[in-house]
Chains A and B, each alone.
Chain A
Amino acid sequence: MTDPSIWGIMAQKGYSRRDFLQFCTYAAALSGLQSNAVAEVAQQFTTKPRPPVVWLHFQECTCCSESFIRASHPIVADVLLDTLSLDYTETLQAAAGHQAEACLHETMRDHHGDYILLVEGSVPMSADGVYCTIGGRSAEDILKEAAEGAAAIVAWGSCASNGCIQAARPNPTNATPIHKILNRPVINVPGCPPIADVMTGVVTHLLVYGRAPELDSRGRPRSFYGRRVHDTCYRRPYYDAGLFVASWDDENARRGYCLYKMGCRGPVTYNACGVTKWNEGTSFPIQSGHGCIGCSEAGFWDNGPFYQHLAAFPGFGIEATADKVGTVATVATAGALGAHAVWTNVRKHKAIKATIDESVNVTSDS
C-alpha cells in the first residue's frame, strides 16, 4: 500500500518537498504558530495516516458545515481527501440509514481512543430527548457514546458551545451545549457560524500538534477568540474620535464611521472577524455596514434588541432599557423629595420655629 501520510499523498500528487514545506508553513500560520514550528508541522504530516474524524449533527442549522466547506486555506477538498478521514457526517457522506450508522460504529470501534469528535448543534435535554432523534436514538445517547472513545472533542459553533438560538428564552427544548453534558474537556469554537478558516485552523492544530490549542477559561482557542472584535476593528479610530453612525445610510454611515450607536456588539464580542475576516478575507459584518450582533458570545440571542447599544433588562419588555427605568426613577425621586420638602415645612414648622427661637438672640438697644 502507498504511504498514507500527508507527505506521502502530496509526493504522489507530484508536489515537491518545497511545496510541502510551503503547505506546512500555511498550516502553521493558520494555527497561529511561529515559523520555527514549521519543522514540527512537517514532521507530523510526514508520519501520520489520515486521522479518523466523526462529525455529529444535532439541533443545528448546518451553517457550521456550510462554513467549513467555505474554507480557503486549505480548501475543503484537500482537507477531505488528504488531511483527515471524515468517516461520518450526515451532510456530505454517501451512505444513508443503516449504512451511515455502520460508518459511525466502525470508526468508534476500530479507532477507539483515536478519533476526533466534532459536534455541530446543541442537545435537547428535556422530554427524554424526543426533540432530536437520529436513527431512533436520542441526541444525548449518541453524543455520550461517541464522546467516550474520542481523542479530542470540538464543539462547532454557538449551538454546540453555548446553545445558540434554540437556547434563547424560553429555551423550549432545553437545548444544552455539549460541554455541559460531557464531563471532559471540550474545545469550544463559537460563532454563528464560526469563520471557515478558523474551523480548519482548529482542526489543523489538533492534527499537527496532537493536542488542543491554548484555551481560555471558556474553552475557546486563544488564537482566534483572544480579542474582542472591537479591538481589531478597522473602524476603531472613529470610535475613539467619537464619530458615530446615527441612523442607517446617513452621511456618517456612508463614510464608514463607527457603528457603536447602531448597537454594534463588537465591544463585548470575542472573535477573529476583524482580522481573519469572512469568505477568504472578503469582508466582515462591520465592514459591510451592519454592526456586530455578537454571534460568538454565549447568550447573544437574549442580549437584544440588536439595534440599541445595551440589551433590554430581562422581564421589562423590549424598550425597557436601564436608562428608561433609571430616568423614570430619577424623576420620581426628585418629585418625592420636592414633596417631602413641602411636607416638612408643613409638618415641622413648629419644630423649626422652636429651633429658631431657641437660638442665640442678639438684641441691641441703641
Chain B
Amino acid sequence: MARIVVDPVTRIEGHLRIEATVENGVITDAYSAGTMVRGFEIILRGRDPRDAWAFAERACGVCTTVHALASVRSVEDALDIHIPPNAELIRNLMYCTQMVQDHVVHFYHLHALDWVDVVNALSADPTETSALAKSISRWPKTSPQYFADVQNRIKRFVESGQLGIFKNGYWGHPQYKLPPAANLMAVAHYLEALEWQKELVKIHAIFGGKNPHPNYLVGGVPCSINLDEVNAINTERLNHVGYLIKGAIDIVEQMYLPDLLAIASYYKDWAAIGGGLSNYLVYGDLPMNGVRDVDQFKFPRGAILDRNLNEVHEVNGRDEGEIKEYISHSWYRYSVGDDTGLHPFDGETEFNYTGPKPPYEHLNVDEKYSWLKTPRWKDHPMEVGPLARMLVAYAHGRDDVKEVVHEALGHLGVGVEALFSTLGRTAARGLETRLAVHWMKEFYDDLITHIKSGDTRTFTQDMWEPETWPDVAEGVGMSEAPRGALAHWIRIKDRKIDNYQLVVPTTWNASPRDANGQRSAYESSLLGTPVAHIDQPLEILRTIHSFDPCLACAVH
C-alpha cells in the first residue's frame, strides 16, 4: 500500500491537494483538500449589498463573471427586483461568453496535456497530420506545411533545452495513446486556441468594460444602448459582438468538437473509469423569461439520484431542508456543533485550523483536513457540472440536448452509460459548449429584435435606493457556472449585508467527507482508478481535471 500526495495539483485554479492510497496499482481511497482560504464570507459582512458582486466576482478570475451574476441575482431576489429583458439578454450573452471561453481553455490548456504527448508530436508526419485534420473538420489551417512549421517550432523549443511549462511533464508515459499525427494536431490547436481565447471575451469588454472581472449592476447591466450615440452600445459595438460569436461558433464546431471526439476515440477505456457519485444536481440557468420562470431556462433545473434518468427531482434553494453545508472535516467551527449541517441562510464562517503546522508531509485525514465546507442536497453527495447539466436536460427530454448527446455517443460507438465517467465528463463539457455557442446567436438576435422594437432599457431604478428597502430581506442567486451549480445566499439587515454565503460548484465536487463519512465527487471518482507509475500521477490528473477544479472558487 502506498500513499501518493499530489500537491500542487497544477493546471487548475487555486490550491488543491490530493492524497490517495494505492494498492496493486489501483486507488483504494482518496482525500481531496483545499489548502488556501481568504475569508470572503467574513469580509462581505456589513457592506453595501449593491457592492457585493464586485467582491464575490473576485473569488475567481477563471470563471470570472459567474459570481458577479449569482451575487446580483441574490440581491435582486431579496429585494424583488425584475430586470428589463435587454439586461437579461446581455447577461446571458456574457454568461455564454464565459462558459464557451472557459471550456475551450480547459480542454486545450488545462486538460489536453493529460491525453496529448507534446514530445511525441515531434515524430509525427505533417502530411499525415494534415490528412487527419482534414478528415475531421473543415478548419482552414490544415496544410502539411502548416503542421511542419508548428512541428519545427516545437522542435527548436525542445532542443533549446528550456522546456518551460512543458518541463517534467509525463511524456512517454504508457497511458498516452494518441498516434503522433493526432498529438501534433492537438499541439497546433493548443497554440491556436491560446491565441483565440482572448477574442471571445471581448464581449465582456464591450458590455462590462473588461475581462477578467467585467462590471455588473444590481437592477440590470451598466451599459446603455443608444444607436445614435458613439458613447453607448451602438451598431458598431453590436456588430463586434456578432462577429465574435461567429468566430466562436467556428472554433467550437470546427476545432474543439472534432478534436474532442478524435481524442476521445483513442481513450474509450476512460468511459469506464472515474464515474464516482451517481447523484447529479443542477440549478439551471439562461433564463428566457426572467430568472423566476424556471421552466423557461435553457439549462433546466433538477436533481438526479442513483443515475436514474427517468426521474428528475425538484430543487429549491430556499428550502431549509434541501441544501446544507457540513464542516465535520473542514477547518471551521459552527456555533451549533461541528457535526450539524447548516442551510446557507444561517451559514457560519469561522476559521478553526486543526491541521498540522507547515511544513507537513501528510494531512490528518481522520479529522478536519480541508478549507472546503461539504455541501449536501437532502444529505446526498451530489456531482455538479457539465455532466450533471447534460444529464438533467437529457432526463427532462430537452431535444437540443438529446440530439448533441446522441450524435456524440453514436460517433464514439458507446451507450449513454459511458457518460458516467471521466471521459463522459470531458465530453459533456464539449457538448454543452456546442449548445451554448449557438444559443449565443439566439440571444444576440433577440437583443437586436428588441432594440428594433424600440425597447432599449437596460436597468430598472426600482429599489436601487437603500431607503426603499425593507429592514430585513433574504435572497438566493442561483446560476450554472462552467463547473456546475453555483448559488449565493444573502441576508440584508438595516441596508447592510448581515450574512453572505457562497456554495460553489467545486465546493460540491472537491469537498471532504461529510459527518456521515460520505465521500464527495472527487474522492469517490478516484476510487478504482488504475495507476501505472506510482510516482507519476497522470491518471489522477485525468480524472481530477475532468471536473475542471477551481479551488479559489471552492473556498473563497
Interface residues of A (CB under 8 A from B): 1-2, 4, 9, 12-14, 49-50, 52, 57-67, 69-72, 75-77, 80-81, 84-87, 89-103, 127-138, 141, 164-166, 168-173, 175, 192-193, 196, 235, 247-249, 253-256, 273, 278-280, 282-290, 293, 295, 301, 304-307, 317-319
CB distance from A47 to the nearest CB of B (A): 15
Indicate whether B36 reaches chain A with its CB closer than 8 angstroms.
yes
Contact A279 B43 (CB under 8 A): no
Chain A residue with minimal CB distance to B36?
Answer: A132
CB distance from B501 to the nearest CB of A (A): 15
Contact A100 B168 (CB under 8 A): yes
Q: Tell me the complex Cα distance, A281–B7, Å.
A: 38
Q: Contacting A97 at CB < 8 Å: which of B6, B12, B211, B356?
A: B6
Contact A165 B40 (CB under 8 A): yes
Q: Tell me the complex Cα distance, A57–B14, Å.
A: 8
Q: Which residues of A contact B457 (CB under 8 A)?
A: 249
Q: Tell me the complex Cα distance, A13–B154, Å.
A: 11
**A61-B209 contact given A87-B167, A96-B6, A135-B8, CB 8 Å threshold:** no
Contact B54 A63 (CB under 8 A): no
CB distance from B441 to the nearest CB of A (A): 20
Indicate whether B284 reaches chain A with its CB closer than 8 angstroms.
no
Q: Tell me the complex Cα distance, A96–B191, Å.
A: 21
CB distance from A22 to the nearest CB of B (A): 19
Indicate whether B207 reaches chain A with its CB closer than 8 angstroms.
yes
Q: Which residues of B contact A133 (CB under 8 A)?
A: 15, 35-36, 358, 360
Q: Please provide the chain B residues from 346 to 377 with a CB less than 8 Å away from any CB of chain A in the complex.
A: 351, 353, 355-361
Residues 196-209 of chain B: 1 if any A CB is under 8 Å from the residue's CB, otherwise 0? 01100110111111
Contact A254 B226 (CB under 8 A): yes
Chain B interface mostly: loop
Indicate whether B466 reaches chain A with its CB closer than 8 angstroms.
yes
Q: Which residues of A contact B239 (CB under 8 A)?
A: none
CB distance from A237 to the nearest CB of B (A): 11
Q: Tell me the complex Cα distance, A128–B353, Å.
A: 11
Contact A172 B215 (CB under 8 A): no
CB distance from A366 to the nearest CB of B (A): 69
Indicate whether B235 reaches chain A with its CB closer than 8 angstroms.
no
**A248-B167 contact given A70-B211, A97-B9, A287-B209, CB 8 Å threshold:** no
Contact A69 B162 (CB under 8 A): no
Q: Tell me the complex Cα distance, A354–B167, Å.
A: 99
Q: Contacting A1 at CB < 8 Å: which of B55, B159, B459, B461?
A: B159
Residue from the set B35, B55, B59 with the largest chain A CB neighbour count within 10 Å: B35
**A61-B109 contact given A89-B165, A90-B10, A91-B10, CB 8 Å threshold:** no
Q: Contacting A192 at CB < 8 Å: which of B8, B159, B213?
A: B213
Contact A169 B43 (CB under 8 A): yes
Q: Which residues of B contact A102 (CB under 8 A)?
A: 168
**A2-B61 contact given A70-B201, A130-B358, A279-B204, CB 8 Å threshold:** no
Indicate whether B194 reaches chain A with its CB closer than 8 angstroms.
yes
Contact A288 B40 (CB under 8 A): no
Chain B residue with minimal CB distance to A286?
Answer: B209
- Give the 3 A-B residue pairs with the shortest CB-CB distance, closest first: A63-B61, A256-B231, A94-B169
Chain A residue with minimal CB distance to B84?
Answer: A249
Q: Tell me the complex Cα distance, A318–B42, Å.
A: 16
Contact A283 B212 (CB under 8 A): no
Q: Please provide the chain B residues from 446 to 471 with a CB less than 8 Å away from any CB of chain A in the complex.
A: 456-459, 461, 464, 466
Contact B58 A165 (CB under 8 A): yes
Indicate whether B543 reaches chain A with its CB closer than 8 angstroms.
no
Q: Which residues of A contact B166 (CB under 8 A)?
A: 93-94
Q: Which residues of A contact B230 (CB under 8 A)?
A: 256
Contact B8 A96 (CB under 8 A): yes
Chain B residue with minimal CB distance to A121?
Answer: B36
Q: Supply 23 A–B pairs (Cβ within 8 Å), ascending by A.
A: A1-B160, A13-B153, A59-B38, A60-B552, A63-B213, A81-B157, A94-B113, A95-B170, A96-B541, A97-B5, A99-B170, A127-B353, A132-B36, A133-B15, A133-B35, A136-B356, A136-B361, A172-B39, A235-B231, A248-B220, A255-B231, A256-B231, A317-B496
Q: Which residues of A contact B398 (CB under 8 A)?
A: none
Q: Contacting B209 at CB < 8 Å: which of A63, A67, A288, A301?
A: A288
Contact B208 A290 (CB under 8 A): yes
**A288-B208 contact given A61-B61, A133-B15, A306-B51, CB 8 Å threshold:** yes
Contact A61 B58 (CB under 8 A): yes
Q: How many A-B residue pairs have CB under 8 A?
A: 341
Contact A65 B208 (CB under 8 A): no
Interface size class of B (residues with CB under 8 A): 35 or more
Contact B11 A96 (CB under 8 A): yes
Chain A residue with minimal CB distance to B48?
Answer: A305
Q: Which residues of B contact A127 (CB under 8 A)?
A: 351, 353
Q: Tell me the complex Cα distance, A100–B157, Å.
A: 19
**A96-B537 contact given A136-B361, A169-B43, A278-B209, CB 8 Å threshold:** yes
Q: Contacting A77 at CB < 8 Å: which of B59, B195, B215?
A: B195
Residues 5-32 of chain B: 1 if any A CB is under 8 Å from the residue's CB, otherwise 0? 1111111111100000000000000000
Q: Which residues of A contact B207 (CB under 8 A)?
A: 288
Q: Tell me the complex Cα distance, A67–B47, Å.
A: 27
CB distance from B43 to the nearest CB of A (A): 5
Q: Contacting A92 at CB < 8 Å: which of B8, B109, B195, B201?
A: B109
Indicate whether B75 reaches chain A with its CB closer than 8 angstroms.
no
Q: Tell me the complex Cα distance, A97–B15, Å.
A: 11
Q: Tell me the complex Cα distance, A342–B489, Å.
A: 55
Q: Which residues of A contact B222 (CB under 8 A)?
A: 248, 288-290
Contact B357 A128 (CB under 8 A): yes
CB distance from A334 to the nearest CB of B (A): 25
**A134-B64 contact given A61-B552, A192-B213, CB 8 Å threshold:** no
Q: Which residues of B contact A319 (CB under 8 A)?
A: 466, 495
Q: Please provide the chain B residues from 50 to 66 with a CB less than 8 Å away from any CB of chain A in the complex.
A: 50-51, 54-55, 58-62, 64
Indicate whether B296 reaches chain A with its CB closer than 8 angstroms.
no
Known: A70-B201, A307-B51. 15 other contacts (CB 8 A): A63-B212, A81-B164, A86-B164, A87-B167, A90-B11, A91-B12, A138-B359, A165-B38, A173-B351, A192-B58, A247-B461, A247-B464, A248-B219, A305-B47, A305-B51
Contact B209 A62 (CB under 8 A): no
Contact A63 B8 (CB under 8 A): no
Q: Tell me the complex Cα distance, A95–B164, Å.
A: 11
Indicate whether B118 reaches chain A with its CB closer than 8 angstroms.
yes
CB distance from B396 to the nearest CB of A (A): 33
Q: Which residues of B contact A284 (CB under 8 A)?
A: 205, 209-210
Q: Contacting A289 at CB < 8 Å: which of B61, B161, B223?
A: B223
Contact B10 A248 (CB under 8 A): no
